[in-house]
Structure formats: structure tokens, C-alpha cells
Amino acid sequence: METLFESFRIALELTPMGYVRSFHDKINWNNRLIGLMGQKGVGKSTLLLQHIRKFDNIEETLYVQADDFYFSGHGLYEMAYDFFKRGGKRLYIDEIHKYKGWSTEIKMIYDKLPLLSVVYSGSSLLALRKGSMADLSRRAIEYTMPGLSFREYLNIANGWNLKTASLEDILKGRVDFPYGEHRPLKYYEEYRRKGVYPFFSEDDFHLRLKQAVNETVEHDIPNYADIPVASAGKLKKLMYVLANSVPFKPNYSKLARDLEIGRNQLPDYVEYLTSSQLFNTLPEKGTGDALLQKVEKLYLNNSNIAFAVSDSNPTEGTMRETLFLMWMQEAYKVTSSKISDFEIEGITFEVGGKNKTGKQVKEAETAYLVKDNIEYAIGNSIPIWMFGFAY
């Protein structure tokens, strides 16, 4: 077990502390069992190690990765019990989805070691509970970590400390951006290509991101869902067909025929891709305040993925809608609009270029035009980059 402690200390020493995401403060770290989920590369491991450095007693804490070679000969519960006997109080288990049968052993740790607090992290797929897995719903408090917002990207890239903005402030053009020599459109262009992930400054960003997407589709999803090898190939093909077709209005019958996937299987495959945060769903607006479960459209989770996996450069219109949906879904309930692109809290949003007119939304009671290539809010025309301050 000493090797686990050594690996933990090395990882802790190498953890950057210059910027801690505000998502950290959304987590109630006092809970005895916490799950942190999210897409590969969004910074879950860094957040856990930053929290340990800032708040935990190192002598009573252990951070491990579930795919560590140690676990080829030892179990999670065995490790946790051994750690507890040594005086351990806080156990962090990263990449837990790579440990087969993880939920059963986490349940054992929770039930049999009540003085030990556990935080686990892993793929967003963990939110999909399979019948054979232990039910942790009454024990674990789970959080899903999003990619960087435009605001967070600006803070990390420039060493700033810009604050979030409410929807009301955004619609009035009141966001915490330091104009003057700094121009938002320059940063927005950089962000939409490679700013959603904390490793945006590393070389070969899009290649790294593509590899992360491939690992999710080729390994994480098949292993989690017990998909046969032949079906895993179809899942990857579905991923790339959808990536080059967004925004995609589901037509499962046609798609199933084209990809030779069973019609009943296809919705499950789409659910795996959305649950792993590779895609976002835009639900249809129901009657009154009711929301139907029907998906109106599928979008890629963010514009960075589009640049990494699409066969050609994504269209400007698609990127605008993708980012707007990504940002606003994190903070608000977003649905499709019967007359336009999106609706949030009874407000209609039409997303377009700087020359977009309000003709399409003239019948809406309250409507705004979301435009790129403009720096300031004028009337009901709001720059799209401002919505990147929603979280």
C-alpha cells in the first residue's frame, strides 16, 4: 500500500493551485459519500487534488486512481479497510468507472466503515445505473462537472478573476469584462476552438481531445454497457455520423437503417453518447409548464469537439447554437422554441450572425437576438460571448 501513498504525494506536489474552478464551491464536501462525474479532460482529478491541498489533513487522506496496478491484486474495500486501520479519514478514488463492480464495493465501504468519508470520480456514464449494480442513490450525493465556461477560460488564460453574471445582467449587457486593450471577440474565437478544456494551452490540443473522445467511445462506453466488440464499432460510427450532422433532429428509423443498428438499440446508443457528455439534448417544449421527454435536437456537447472530430470545419451557425446551449443548460432549463431556436424561462432566443434581424421572433412576447461578431449589447441584440459568463 506504500506505493499508493507515494503516488498520491507525487500527484499532490504536481497539482497547480493558481486557479480553482468555482464549481468547487458547489460541492458540499461534508457529505460522507460524494460522486464527481464529468467528461474526460474537464479537470476532475485536478479539482480533487486542489481540494485536498487546501482543506484536508494529508496524514489522514489518500487519493488513488482506480486503474492503478495495485488493484490487479487488491480490492477497493480491502484497500479502504487497510487505510482506515492506519488512521485514514478521507479517501478519494479517481477514474472509478475503470474498476469493475465498483458500486458494490463503494456500498460496502459506506456501510461498514462509517467513519471514513469517500469521494469518487469518473465518467458521466456513472449516472446510468444498471440493474446489476448496487444502488447508491440513497447514499451518494453526485455532481456533474462541466467544461470551462468562457468566463473561466478568460480567468485561466489571463490570470483574471471575472465574476459570473445572471441572465438578467447578461440581457442588459452587464458582464465583468475588462474592455480597453482587451477585446472579447479575439478571446471568443480562441475559446470556441480550444478553450472548453483546462489543457487548452498544451500542444496538439485537438489531437489530444480526439484521443479522449475515442477512448470514451471505444472503451469507456463499451466496458460500462457490456457492448460486444462488433456493436462497439457501430457506436463509434454513430458518434461520427452525428458529429457531422448536428444539430441533428432524431429520426431513429432512418438512422438505424443507414448504420445497420437495431431500431430498439439505437436510443440506448444515443443515451450513452449524451450521458458521457459528448452530446447535449435539446428537449421539446411541452404545453403550459410541462416538459415532454421528447428530444427536439441533438448537439455536440461543445464546439471544441466539433473541431476535433468533424470531417470539415463546422459551420458558424452550428457553433453558435452549440455554445449557447452548453452554457445556458448548466445554469438554466433550456427548451426548443416553437418560433425560434431556444426558450429559457419564457424568453425566446434567436441565435445568429451580426446581421440577424428580429423578423422570426416578432410574435414572441419577450425575445432577444444572440449574435456573434458584436462586442456590446444594444437593445435586444446581445453578444453571444456574454452568455459564457452564466457560470
Checking if the pLDDT of 287 tops 60, the result is: no
Checking if the pLDDT of 311 tops 50, the result is: yes
Cα–Cα distance for residue pair 298/282, rounded to 1 Å: 6
Shared domain check, 215 and 75: no
Shared domain check, 155 and 102: no
109-155 pLDDT tens trace: 999 999 999 999 998 887 665 544 567 878 999 999 999 999 999 99
pLDDT score, position 69: 96
Checking if the pLDDT of 307 tops 90, the result is: yes
Q: Which helix (H) or strand (E) holds 80?
A: helix 76-85
Shared domain check, 273 and 174: yes
pLDDT score, position 19: 96
Helix, coil or strand: residue 10? helix
Shared domain check, 128 and 237: no
Which long-range contacts (C-beta less than 8 Å, at least 24 apart) are formed by 78-84? 79/1, 79/4, 80/109, 80/113, 80/116, 80/118, 81/112, 81/113, 82/1, 83/1, 83/116, 84/113, 84/115, 84/116
pLDDT score, position 293: 53
CATH number of the domain where residue 102 is located: 3.40.50.300
Task: Please tell me what DSSP assigns to residue 378.
Answer: B
Q: How confident is the model at residue 290 (pLDDT cuts 50, 70, 90)?
A: very low
Residue with cell 425566446: 348
Least confident of 29-33, 191-195, 286-290, 354-358: 286-290
Select from 145, 170, 200 the last residue of a domain. Answer: 145
Count of beta carbons in the 10 Å neighbourhood of residue 126? 25
Q: Is the CB of residue 350 less than 8 Å from the CB of residue 341?
A: yes
Checking if the pLDDT of 292 tops 70, the result is: no
Cα–Cα distance for residue pair 164/391, rounded to 1 Å: 6
59-94 pLDDT tens trace: 999 999 999 999 999 999 999 999 999 999 999 999
Mean pLDDT of all residues in 246-267: 89
Select from 145, 174, 199 the last residue of a domain. Answer: 145
Shared domain check, 130 and 187: no
Helix axes 266-275, 252-259, angle to 10 degrees: 100
Cα–Cα distance for residue pair 44/178, rounded to 1 Å: 29
Q: Residue 22 has which C-alpha cell? A: 468555482
> What is the average pLDDT value for the chain, to the nearest integer?
93
| Measured CA distances, 253 to 63, 69, 249, 259, 332 (Å) | 46, 44, 12, 10, 32
Mean pLDDT of all residues in 26-34: 97
pLDDT score, position 291: 45
Provide the residue count of the chain. Answer: 391
Helix, coil or strand: residue 277? coil
pLDDT score, position 133: 57
Cα–Cα distance for residue pair 171/387, rounded to 1 Å: 9
Q: Domain range spanning residue 20?
A: 2-145
Strands 381-383 and 334-336: unpaired
Cα–Cα distance for residue pair 89/79, rounded to 1 Å: 13
| Measured CA distances, 210 to 141, 277, 325 (Å) | 31, 14, 22
316-359 pLDDT tens trace: 999 999 999 999 999 999 999 999 999 999 999 999 998 888 88
Total number of domains in the chain: 2
Q: Residue 42 has which C-alpha cell? A: 474537464
Task: Please tell me what DSSP assigns to residue 209.
Answer: H
The widest CA-to-CA distance across the chain, in whole angstroms, is 69
Cα–Cα distance for residue pair 287/265, rounded to 1 Å: 29
Q: Residue 130 has which C-alpha cell? A: 444498471
Select from 145, 179, 207 the last residue of a domain. Answer: 145
Cα–Cα distance for residue pair 187/260, rounded to 1 Å: 42
Shared domain check, 164 and 120: no
Shared domain check, 187 and 106: no
Shared domain check, 322 and 297: yes
